[in-house]
Structure 1
Amino acid sequence: MTVQELPGAVAYRPTPPPAWKPRIDPTPLLPDPEPYRVLGTDAAASVAPELLLKLYAQLVRGRRYNTQATALTKQGRLAVYPSSTGQEACEVAAALALEERDWLFPSYRDTLAAVARGLDPVAALTLLRGDWHTGYDPREHRIAPLCTPLATQLPHAVGLAHAARLKGDDVVALAMVGDGGTSEGDFHEALNFAAVWRAPVVFLVQNNGFAISVPLAKQTAAPSLAHKAVGYGMPGRLVDGNDAPAVHQVLTEAVSRARRGEGPTLIEAITYRIDAHTNADDATRYRVASEIEAWREHDPIRLLEQELTGRGLLDDDTKQAATDAAEAMAADLRQRMNADPVLDPMDLFAHVYAERSSQLQEQADQLRAELDAEGEER
């Protein structure tokens, strides 16, 4: 029998102490009920033609990059490739929203964002080829290593952004993650630290519907992933992830907000993964073809072409120029990826620790001895 069940007992209704009050008003932090859009709305008229054409050229190039990288896996030149076909608007907008001094923290699916930021396409694929730890110097390009463990790049982004602010550096970090990554503890820890520290960081969640084969409804019961922002004290934004100028605008505003010292933002971009999770995945086991075709009608390139054509900004010559540039990139990528790389096995021990441990040195010495013995046998 509980206290409440005793005869004559007064119901126990605990109340917070008198000093309790909300730390901040949650209302401004809540996302809009519908994803923000630009294309097909009155807002499209205010987008500069130069930006629309730049986005279009990058989308066409990005689509060709995805198809070429996927083909390289079938030819054995890549071990695995997580395609971002259908998500190119998020990838391109993320790269273009940053200043040169800012940092990008990509996941394993965000090679296109790194390429759109200026990274050599071959360098972006080096990790997925299995040749090198990263394939590029993160400090030189201000692009963190492609992160294959889910969401572990998010605390790194917060740490870098917080450190930059403490040093007085005008730097913003943009961290990209998929909807599956929001189920990881690193996601929640990163958002909490970022909000408490008011770190200049932007979190972009590409909600493409599936964490491999697990649909979003089996991961969370939240109204949207953007709603999770209010629990940490930061604004949440919901945007159509296939609307390139909309994603660019929302990201640019969030980056500017972070640069002004107003803290982090969580952005959920609603998009769709047209291809399988990777070339090793059979997506037909968990989704139907009609679902994919419905999203093809909302393709980011198609949406932008409609806007550009309607405004008289896209003619056959402009389309051909974008296609030619994309084909030239693909041809160069094919040629260089088809060349067998010259690898040094001793590179396995490079960039592991700033000061090599005794155990690692012992392993390095052992490998060196084996390589020397093989050389003598030849």
Structure 2
Amino acid sequence: MTIPAEAQEAVKRFGISIEDYMLPVHGQIQILSEDGTMLPEDQRGSSPGHQYPVPSDNELLEAYRQLVIGRRVNDQNSALVRQGRLAVYPSSHGQEACQVAAALCLREGDWMFPTYRDSVAVMTRGVDPVETMTLFRGDWHGGYDPHAHKVGIQSTPLTTQLLHAVGVAHAAKLRGEDTVVLAMCGDGATSEGDFHEALNFAAVFHLPVVFFVQNNQYAISVPLVHQSVAPSLAHKAVGYGMAGERVDGNDIVALLAVLDRAVTLARSGSGPLLVEANTYRMQAHTNADDATRYRNQAEVEAWAAKDPLNRMRHYLRSTGHLTDDVETAFAGDAEDVAQRLRDGLGTEPSLDPQDLFRHVFAEPTPQLREQATFLAEEISRDEQSGKEL
């Protein structure tokens, strides 16, 4: 396998051989046990050259605060669907650690390309909660300015966002920018052709992309065992000439450590990397799905015991950094976001039918102008006759 010289130099700075760098470490990276205690270093899944320093106490407290907000966002949005304020919501309940770590590992100038299930990551990145949810109320646009936040519009088609991510990374490299792109997808996306095209292009052109696969065990109703027989999804990376890592997706300490290292490597010139996070979708695929038809309650309960929020709470409580006052303050922050969602999504939007034509092309075509004029005349006639629009 031919590894670009710049990648070899970047890897050497971390004291890793190319052979060790390319293949995932044995097992998966985990720093906190399921009961929230810190694992000894020899039990964390790391190996020589693959070391993951524990983030600072301040970083972990902020991560926990975002976890609390993320869980409240998931619960609030699910309620808004039942109230008819949202058309659909793909909950990330149980996956909040992946969501928060994805946003916190990036610098301000880096880009994130999320999926439809990554609303919590988008909000953690700094996008207004109501703007984030505009897409899911059935509006005609994505709700926020991607360029202002360096966040792509949440993608409903599987995996198309990975191609967009690779394109942005390629453009940034051509311009000489110090930019890393985080490209998010789920386990089901790894069965799509766009996944393979994106990874191959990123590797061939040696682009600073971190592909972050949230393996929540199901592609809607299809379990992972019916999608791939590879030892792990992280092992797919080596076939494209990039490194792959596996991490406990419910351990936010490990997630921050692994993703921070991946972003640092990519920024240092190592080329693209793939990180697989093993987690679980606790709720249905969306509000239109009945998860009881394809998975049993015992499986759900087993994963409930690995809840990322409880794990982090127990750890921070044991270290004394999470007090009752801090917990109350974080809960207040979460409720503030929930209130903003209720207020923003409880207000009927003001719609202008001419928006159908304004934002299709920078310079409207003759056909669009004709259609816009026709619609305006129809509306005018209806208003004059007293018909409701």
Q: Same fold (TM over 0.5)?
A: yes
Letter in 1 for 2:193: G
For 1:27-46, list aligned pairs within 5 A.
27-39=20-32, 40-42=38-40, 46=54
User: Which of 134, 141, 144 is matched with 1:133 structurally?
Assistant: 141
State how far apart, in whole Å, the 2-side matches of 1:358 and 1:259 are: 46
Conserved 8 A contact 1:77-1:129 = yes
Which residue pairs with 2:69 in the alignment?
61
Query: How many residues are paired up?
Result: 357
Pair 1:209-2:202 in alignment: no
3-state SS of the aligned residue for 1:136? Answer: coil
Which residue pairs with 1:74 in the alignment?
82
User: Which of 329, 336, 352 is matched with 2:337 structurally?
Assistant: 329
For 1:133-212, list aligned pairs within 5 A.
133-212=141-220
Letter in 1 for 2:28: P
Which residue pairs with 1:305 in the alignment?
313
| Cα shift readout 1:172-218 (whole Å, capped 9, x = no counterpart) | 11111011111111100000000011111111000001000000111
User: Which of 258, 263, 266 is matched with 1:255 structurally?
Assistant: 263
TM-aligned CA deviation for residue 320 of structure 1: 1.3
Pair 1:112-2:115 in alignment: no
After superposition, the Cα gap between the structure-2 partners of 1:33 and 1:367, relative to the gap in structure 1 and judged at 3 Å, is: farther
Please report the TM-score for the alignment, with normalisation by the length of structure 1. Answer: 0.91
Pair 1:237-2:238 in alignment: no
Structure 2: which 5+ runs fail to align? Answer: 4-17, 33-37, 45-52
Letter in 1 for 2:106: L
3-state SS of the aligned residue for 1:162? Answer: helix
Structure 1: which 5+ runs fail to align? Answer: 1-21
After superposition, the Cα gap between the structure-2 partners of 1:232 and 1:26, relative to the gap in structure 1 and judged at 3 Å, is: farther
TM-aligned CA deviation for residue 248 of structure 1: 1.2
State how far apart, in whole Å, the 2-side matches of 1:23 and 1:154 are: 24
Conserved 8 A contact 2:114-2:153 = yes
State how far apart, in whole Å, the 1-side matches of 2:269 and 2:375 are: 50
State how far apart, in whole Å, the 1-side matches of 2:213 and 2:357 are: 34
TM-aligned CA deviation for residue 35 of structure 1: 1.4
| Cα shift readout 1:242-273 (whole Å, capped 9, x = no counterpart) | 11121111111111111122211111000000
3-state SS of the aligned residue for 2:147? Answer: helix
Which residue pairs with 2:366 in the alignment?
358
State how far apart, in whole Å, the 1-side matches of 2:376 and 2:154 are: 29
State how far apart, in whole Å, the 1-side matches of 2:367 and 2:194 are: 29
Which residue pairs with 2:351 in the alignment?
343
Conserved 8 A contact 2:95-2:249 = yes
Which residue pairs with 1:88 in the alignment?
96
Letter in 2 for 1:23: T
Max radius of gyration: which structure? 1
